[in-house]
Amino acid sequence: MQRLQPESVALLVVDVQEKFVPVLFEPDRLIAACQLLIGGAKALGIPVFVTEQNPEKLGLTVAELREALGDAYRPIAKMEFSAFGSEEFRRAFGASGRTQLLLCGIEAHVCVWQTVQDALALGYEVFVAEDAVTSRYAFLWRSGVQCCVEAGARRTNAEMALFELLGSAEHPQFRAVQSLVKELAPRIYGEEAPLKERRWQFA
């Protein structure tokens, strides 16, 4: 599988909706990681797609992500679990010309998993940001991610994906992405240990 390429990838935010988020495993981590990916994608000029599962019953995408998306909040409503089960999404994604798909959202073992299966079957390269997906239970989250990897998707995380897309500290958007990382990483990965406790990292 190739590396993530900014001219080839699109970000898909899957069903992070108001009535579902409160019952999820580690919802704050999920939202912060999705915010990081959305902000980074926008800084890098990467197209962002958003789906909402049965929004009349499950509500809209959560306010934090709607705010992060801004003008990119153009949700595609669906009833199918896979995003590719939606004809509107299939047309929109196909028209983008993108060949790589980076996924975040919920649930890892249902909508994310079935979207991964369909994307792979259609010949797309698929990347799952492990920190930016979850399910109602930790077991289902881990199982869903593992199934995606075994099917042929590549496991990544929000920070890893963005720095892979930057490629260099000389990238014109490096500082913008770095600022997002500094703001959001503690909510995703936990507070850093004091420097004296991290000296092993520099050995």
Q: What does the alpha-carbon distance between residue 44 and residue 185 come to, in Å, rounded to a whole number?
A: 18
Give CA 57 to chain center in angstroms: 23
pLDDT in tens, the chain (203 residues): 689 999 999 999 999 999 999 999 999 999 999 999 999 999 999 999 999 999 999 999 999 999 999 999 999 999 999 999 999 999 999 999 999 999 999 999 999 999 999 999 999 999 999 999 999 999 999 999 999 999 999 999 999 999 999 999 999 999 999 999 999 999 999 966 554 444 433 33
Distances (CA, A) of 156 to 30, 41, 177: 14, 15, 17
Judge whether 105 and 133 are in contact, CB under 8 Å: yes
Q: Among the options 34, 104, 111, 148, which is catalytic?
A: 111
- The two tokens of residue 178 are 């770095």
Residue 147 a catalytic site member? no
Question: Which of 34, 42, 78, 148 is labelled catalytic?
Answer: 78
Concerning whether 148 is annotated as a catalytic residue, the answer is no
Domains and CATH numbers, the chain: 9-202 (3.40.50.850)
User: How far is it, in rounded angstroms, from Cα 74 to Cα 83?
Assistant: 14
What pTM value is reported for the model?
Answer: 0.93
The tokens for 41 are 């994608």
Strand partners, 76: 51
